[in-house]
Structure 1
Amino acid sequence: MAIITEEEDVTKTIDPPGSKESSMKNPKRQSQNPFPFWFYFTIISSLATLLLLSLSQNDPRSWFLSLPPSLRQHYSDGRTIKVQLNPDESPLEVFAAESGPIQSENVVIVHGLGLSSYAFREVTQSLGSKGIHGVAIDLPGNGFSDKSMVVVGGGDREIGFLGRVKEVYGLIQEKGVFWAFDQMVETGDLPYEEIMKIQNSKRRSLKAIELGSEETAKVLGQVIDTLGLSPVHLVLHDSALGLAANWVSENPQSVRSITLVDPSLNPALPLWVLHIPVIREVLLGFSFGFKKLVSLRCSKEMTLSQVEAHRILLKGRNGREALLGSLKKLNHSFDIAHWGNSDAVNGIPMQVIWSKQVSDVWIQEGQRVAKALPKAKFVTHSGSRWPQESKSGELTDYIADFVSAFPRSIRRVSEEPIPEKVQKILDEANAGGDHDHVHAGYRDAYGLGDGWTT
């Protein structure tokens, strides 16, 4: 017997593939594109690396340890000298590289903007081998000398959001969390002016050193006096003439002779490009860009390692800001004819060493300088506007021959004043006529005793 059963009709509803219910019933794992993650990760890592590098550049110890061996060797061979530009400011450290016997003729080399004593290392060493004491200094803002100074008290200077957060945090650490609240309860107002006064009085910042003719005169005078070099044979390269001319005019008795190496009011290195935001990062951040700039205007004979050393010194420790600040203070209205024929400078022997290989325009400029200084000896060299690297031997020979043509300099030695106690003993001895007592008293006063008598 057949059994007939009734089945309920099951109606299957087929949802469209793109509907919301279909996607909920049949969830599928969507594949994610990893490209955005790695893209942003790379950008953030690069920015963090650049930030750390920039901070390490401002750290003197980290910067020094990152120097190539040639620069570290140059620094170890030199010395630092303290100079005081202003009485109310901390003294600055000026780097000087020396070579040759100290008791011989002293040649002081002053570099132009964009260079340092490192550029003249071979010249000073060659002068030393010829029996001449060569001294090349780094003007403040250049090379291994100080390039910035600490300024206390920022006034109304804007320091940005992060700077203010740091100052507020320091104020809370010093005064306590509830200091401002207590002041507000007592006075009924937030002590905003007092907070700003405390902030401004303790604010410390680094300011780039801007070197003009006045500052250069102070540096030269103090370095020469500290090392006991006067009188000196002065060598001024490139834009150093505009920086050091005032000191020469004010101290002609301290100058035995002057040698000008391709002097110009416009530095050979086109510093104006360092004002342009993107270009300056490329030029100072990469060796090939800076070498292209140097070969265009300064020297085509320099090797990549030489150019790299100059780039590192120029960029490190905020050197760009100091260099541009000094460029602004450079006296572009300086008249070389008026200076050279002035009463103070007219009697100083002078020679001009000029490049004959740069361009016809530069040769014409040399002819103009020769006419402006008719009493100066004029010679030419076969190098570029930075001849001290590729033509150091030729440049040294010109300087050494010129210096050796003069009689030996008479060194001015400043005698130390005799202490009052010693002077009293000497006066008493002279009055009594006892010469033996004079010598004994002088030795005893300095603790030498009778054991030093002969």
Structure 2
Amino acid sequence: MMFFKAHFPLFTFTEKSPLKDSSTSQFSLSPSLSHLPKLSPMAIITEEEEETKTLVPPGSKESITKNPKPQSENPFPFWFYFTIIFSLATLLFVSISLYSSQNDPRSWFLSLPPALRQHYSDGRTIKVQVNPDELPIEVFVAESGPAQSENVIIVHGLGLSSYAFREIIQSLGSKGIHGVAIDLPGNGFSDKSMVVVGGDREIGFVGRVKEVYGLIQEKGVFWAFDHMVETGDLPYEEIIKLQNSKRRSLKAIELGSEETAKVLSQVIDTLGLSPVHLVLHDSALGLASNWVSENPQSVRSITLLDSSINPSLPLWVLHIPVIREVLLGFSFAFKMLVSLRCSKDMTLSQIEAHRILLKGRNGREAVLGSLKKLNHSFDIAQWGNSDAVNGIPLQVIWSKQVSDVWSEEGELVSKALRKAKFVTHSGSRWPQESKSSELTGYITDFVSAFPISFKRVSEEPIPEKVQKILDEAKAGGDHDHAHTGYTDAYGLGEGWTT
């Protein structure tokens, strides 16, 4: 059906008829214009197409498509993304808390197994000054046996601690020998890091967040904005300077031969051990060789226990990301590494203790820093035949069960140190726990073969005022003041002066 619509200036003409049938027409005039004469209209006819409406049954597919019913949304995507975000946030907070607890000495100590806590309780710490512009470092010392007997001090290699030699020093103590095992700084229970104040060291994202929070607490939230309004500049340099001046970060202790010499000197002097029978295990030879060359008068004898320049534990793998996390994070992985390179006779609890001590309190960073400072070009023949070491009795205890390559290495050491006594043991490169009684026997026989050592006692300087009083007392002069509060010869006598 087609419609025609005509537009006139004063009236409208509408014809409603089929396209080919135009016989019927209707005219309508407006009532207000009925008095006007009839005009021949000019019409503008437009064509409009009639909208066709199709009836669709209510149950057909087309009705469903044109009039869709509201459907409920699938809740699965929302809960999926919510679970992912919540899990990531939880993992982040747990990681931060674990990282903080590892660096917190109290939390770390409480998490130790009973055997390690007992070992720590049996020892003591000594403060040593390695560098004059740094704070003192605490060094852990474990000892057993009578203090007035022969002193045997054991120095461990990198990756170990005094805990590995606890059974040896107890066996030495039961034989009447004073056994001492120390934890070199960066290892065991000794300090592994130091607090550095100031500087522009990288402290990580968490450290920077703490710095910004502390700056807001001190200066206020709008301090930088107020400064920018007053001066027109953002106080960026002042912020950086303020942050660097108050920045406190942890720096891993990197121990070389020079630092080891200072540590050994102060520990031996503090405990009054000189002269000592020195036992150097694994890579301790490269660390303590300088101290031996500089202090031959303080060394009674030297025993090298499977000593080498490079540590038996392949510490280089701890440089590799992901691998180091797996090795130090899982007991079975660390056990495989130790069994492969160090010892196959150690129990899982013993290996677990070494893993915990190596991992906790920045231990990995400290050991790797010390590894970089090792003198890998160390010549054992030149050192053993030097004037300082040539007169010191030497003993080499070497494993015969590791491999043919290691046995050949022992023969080379024996040829380089021709004056040394060479014996073999049935253990591995870490034999101190599985073969402690065998090693104790070798050390005891070697130490007992020498005459009894006479300890050198260093005299403490007498203050000037006390020396003046002592000089007056020796002169026998008459004076009217009383010398109360001082013992004879500055505490060396038995009576009190009056």
The two structures share one fold, judged by TM-score above 0.5: yes
- Structure 1 residue 293 displacement after superposition: 0.5
Q: How does 1:278-317 map to 2 (within 5 A)?
A: 278-317=322-361
In structure 1, stretches of 5+ residues that fail to align are 1-8
2:403 maps to amino acid: S
Partner of 2:114: 69
Q: How does 1:256-405 map to 2 (within 5 A)?
A: 256-405=300-449
Counterpart-to-counterpart distance in 2, 1:240 and 1:273 = 20
One of 173, 179, 182 as aligned partner of 1:128: 173
* SS of alignment partner, residue 224 of structure 1: helix
Max Rg structure: 2
Aligned residues: 441
In structure 2, do the counterparts of structure 1 residues 451 and 153 end up closer, same or farther at CA, with 3 Å as the change threshold? closer
Partner of 1:170: 214
Partner of 1:3: none
In structure 2, do the counterparts of structure 1 residues 37 and 23 end up closer, same or farther at CA, with 3 Å as the change threshold? farther
Q: Is 1:49–2:80 an aligned residue pair?
A: no
Bigger shift: residues 63-72 or 189-198: 189-198
* SS of alignment partner, residue 119 of structure 1: helix
Q: Is 1:237–2:281 an aligned residue pair?
A: yes
Q: Is 1:13–2:58 an aligned residue pair?
A: yes
Partner of 1:5: none
Counterpart-to-counterpart distance in 2, 1:148 and 1:20 = 72
- Structure 1 residue 446 displacement after superposition: 7.8
Counterpart-to-counterpart distance in 2, 1:35 and 1:190 = 43
Q: Is 1:407–2:441 an aligned residue pair?
A: no
In structure 2, do the counterparts of structure 1 residues 30 and 204 end up closer, same or farther at CA, with 3 Å as the change threshold? closer
Tell me if the contact between 1:425 and 1:441 (Cα under 8 Å) persists in the aligned partners: no
Counterpart-to-counterpart distance in 2, 1:424 and 1:295 = 66
- Structure 1 residue 196 displacement after superposition: 1.4
Counterpart-to-counterpart distance in 1, 2:451 and 2:192 = 39
- Structure 1 residue 439 displacement after superposition: 10
Counterpart-to-counterpart distance in 2, 1:359 and 1:342 = 30
Counterpart-to-counterpart distance in 2, 1:306 and 1:351 = 27
Partner of 1:4: none
Bigger shift: residues 43-52 or 215-224: 43-52
In structure 2, do the counterparts of structure 1 residues 438 and 234 end up closer, same or farther at CA, with 3 Å as the change threshold? farther
Counterpart-to-counterpart distance in 1, 2:252 and 2:244 = 19
Counterpart-to-counterpart distance in 2, 1:41 and 1:178 = 33
Instruction: Flag the structure with higher helix content.
Output: 1
2:111 maps to amino acid: S
Q: How does 1:72-151 map to 2 (within 5 A)?
A: 72-151=117-196
After TM superposition, the score normalised by the length of structure 2 is: 0.82
In structure 2, stretches of 5+ residues that fail to align are 1-53
2:335 maps to amino acid: K
Bigger shift: residues 414-423 or 355-364: 414-423
In structure 2, do the counterparts of structure 1 residues 346 and 440 end up closer, same or farther at CA, with 3 Å as the change threshold? same
Counterpart-to-counterpart distance in 2, 1:449 and 1:342 = 43
Counterpart-to-counterpart distance in 2, 1:122 and 1:55 = 33
- Structure 1 residue 348 displacement after superposition: 0.6
- Structure 1 residue 449 displacement after superposition: 13
Partner of 2:51: none
Counterpart-to-counterpart distance in 2, 1:449 and 1:246 = 39
2:375 maps to amino acid: N
After TM superposition, the score normalised by the length of structure 1 is: 0.89
What whole-Å deviation, never above 9, does each CA across 1:112-145 have from its counterpart, x for those lacking one? 0000000000000001001111110000110000
In structure 2, do the counterparts of structure 1 residues 270 and 182 end up closer, same or farther at CA, with 3 Å as the change threshold? same
Counterpart-to-counterpart distance in 2, 1:365 and 1:266 = 12
Q: Equivalent pairs: percent with the same residue?
A: 81
Partner of 1:192: 236
Counterpart-to-counterpart distance in 1, 2:421 and 2:490 = 51
* SS of alignment partner, residue 348 of structure 1: coil
Tell me if the contact between 1:426 and 1:438 (Cα under 8 Å) persists in the aligned partners: no
One of 276, 282, 293 as aligned partner of 1:249: 293
* SS of alignment partner, residue 69 of structure 2: helix
2:378 maps to amino acid: F
Bigger shift: residues 248-257 or 416-425: 416-425
- Structure 1 residue 429 displacement after superposition: 3.0
Tell me if the contact between 1:15 and 1:22 (Cα under 8 Å) persists in the aligned partners: no
What whole-Å deviation, never above 9, does each CA across 1:138-166 have from its counterpart, x for those lacking one? 001100000011111122x4445554443
